[in-house]
Amino acid sequence: MAILVAGGAGYIGSHMVKDLVEHGQDVVVADNLSTGHRDAINPKAKFYEGDIRDRKFLDKIFDNENIEAVVHFAAFSIVPESMSKPLKYFDNNTGGMITLLEAMRDHNIKYIVFSSTAATYGVPEHMPIKETDPQNPINPYGLSKLMMEKMMHWADKAYGIKFVALRYFNVAGAAPDGTIGEDHGPETHLVPIILQVAQGKRDELSIFGDDYNTPDGTNVRDYVHVMDLADAHILAIKYLEAGNESNAFNLGSSTGFSNKQMLEAAREVTGEPIPAKIAPRRPGDPDSLVAASDKARNVLGWDPKYDDVHDIIATAWKWHSTHPKGYDDRD
Ligand code: UDP
């Protein structure tokens, strides 16, 4: 039996595939390579190139392979892009989930672990955020993922497809062996951008806003290491295969770091000055997002290994400093 990783060529998906392979699991990857990289896919995984909105493509995989569960990362995830191109997000993310669930129903695949997001909570009423808190997204990305969660809920009721939605907070870091890492084109995420400045690939960091309602005025986020995140997915598959009910879990460290604190930590890790300036706010950014993730720890038995943001940045720095051009020469 194999696990299908949809979006297994992307940043988080490729770390998931590596983690599964290292646990001795057979893995099939489906990815359209729109944002992912062929070289990020672990060579022990079987790769199908195509789009999850393409029903024939999914049928081919489910007909050819003995898939026991799907882990679904095949979605767009850039908050500011979703503000300017909302329909792109509803098409690929929300629409893609319809086709995937229909194919799962018809091929009798009963388990799905889904990349959801803290962005489904919108502007939280209190911190840290609990899974039972209201979900009122303030950007199309968050809404596209909330709709996907709700679709899975009803697909469970109607067809018995059991799901775990993992609501990620801010994912960072890279495989500690330095073989794979984060390479988006264009890059929008804070940690890789800071490290590109440290590398001299950018002149300076723009910190988007310093007048938020936070201790130093810059946004506060909760950073989780990508390999810890991958481990949580493996636990979620086991949870479903043990016959448990569908569920949702936050994945965060329960500790918030401001954008200024992240910059300072990166200066310490890299030893580089990393010039920075304050720039206007970026649309769609809530003040703070910090997870209560005791549910994942208690119910799934999740035990994240990286509890210091310096260690997370250090693994990312290992990848960036050894792969200055990412996976190819595009930069
Ligand atoms: N950010 C920033 N400068 C950048 C990129 C990001 O100040 O060049 C901020 C962004 O406004 C947010 C935080 O860093 O407050 C994390 O943003 P990111 O895009 O990494 O993740 P998101 O929270 O959107 O998932």
pLDDT at residue 190 greater than cutoff 80: yes
- Per the structure, the count of domains in the chain is 2
- Looking at the fold, whether 120 and 144 belong to one and the same domain comes out as yes
Q: In the chain, pLDDT over 70 holds for what percent of residues? A: 99
**Which of ligand 1's atoms lies nearest the C-alpha of 193?**
8
Let me know if 60 is exposed, middle or buried by CB neighbors in 10 A (0-12, 13-18, 19+).
middle
Identify the three-state secondary structure at position 198: helix
pLDDT at residue 331 greater than cutoff 50: no
- Looking at the fold, whether 126 and 207 belong to one and the same domain comes out as no
Band (328; pLDDT cuts 50, 70, 90): confident
Q: What is the mean pLDDT of residues 293-305?
A: 96
**Which of ligand 1's atoms lies nearest the C-alpha of 77?**
25
Question: Could you say which DSSP state residue 281 is in?
Answer: P
- Residue 22 or 125, more confident: 22
Helix, strand, coil % (nearest 5) of the chain?
40, 20, 40
- Looking at the fold, whether 203 and 316 belong to one and the same domain comes out as yes
Query: What's the first-to-final CA gap in the chain, in angstroms?
Result: 39
Please report the ipTM that was assigned to this predicted complex: 0.99
CA atoms within 13 A on the CB side of 53: 11
- Residues 6 or more apart in contact with residue 305 via CB below 8 angstroms: 225, 227, 228
Is 183 a domain residue?
no
| Average pLDDT score over the chain | 95
Band (284; pLDDT cuts 50, 70, 90): confident
Q: Helices in 32-95 by DSSP H: which ranges?
A: 55-64, 79-84, 86-89
Q: In the chain, pLDDT over 90 holds for what percent of residues? A: 91
* The residue to which tokens 């910090």 are assigned: 290
Ligand 1 and 167: CB distance under 6 A: no
- Looking at the fold, whether 266 and 286 belong to one and the same domain comes out as yes
- Looking at the fold, whether 165 and 217 belong to one and the same domain comes out as no
pLDDT at residue 279 greater than cutoff 80: yes
Write the CATH number for 206: 3.90.25.10
Write the CATH number for 50: 3.40.50.720
Is 184 a domain residue?
no
Is 241 a domain residue?
yes
Structural domain boundaries, residue 202: 190-221+254-291+298-322
pLDDT at residue 71 greater than cutoff 80: yes
* The residue to which tokens 């997370």 are assigned: 312
**Token duo for residue 78:** 């850039």
Identify the three-state secondary structure at position 151: helix
- Looking at the fold, whether 90 and 110 belong to one and the same domain comes out as yes
Is 247 a domain residue?
yes
137-152 CB burial, b ≥16 within 10 A, e <16: bbbbbbbbbbbbbebb
Q: What is the mean pLDDT of residues 251-273?
A: 96
Band (86; pLDDT cuts 50, 70, 90): very high
Band (285; pLDDT cuts 50, 70, 90): confident
Q: What is the mean pLDDT of residues 23-30?
A: 98
Residue nearest to atom 20 of ligand 1 (CA): 189
Peptide bond into 86 cis (omega under 30): no
- Looking at the fold, whether 242 and 94 belong to one and the same domain comes out as yes
8 near 48, Cβ under 8 Å?
A: no
Ligand 1 and 170: CB distance under 6 A: yes
Q: What is the mean pLDDT of residues 142-147?
A: 98
Is 280 a domain residue?
yes
Is 180 a domain residue?
no
Q: Which residues does the annotation mark as catalytic?
A: 141
pLDDT at residue 329 greater than cutoff 90: no
Q: What is the mean pLDDT of residues 51-55?
A: 98
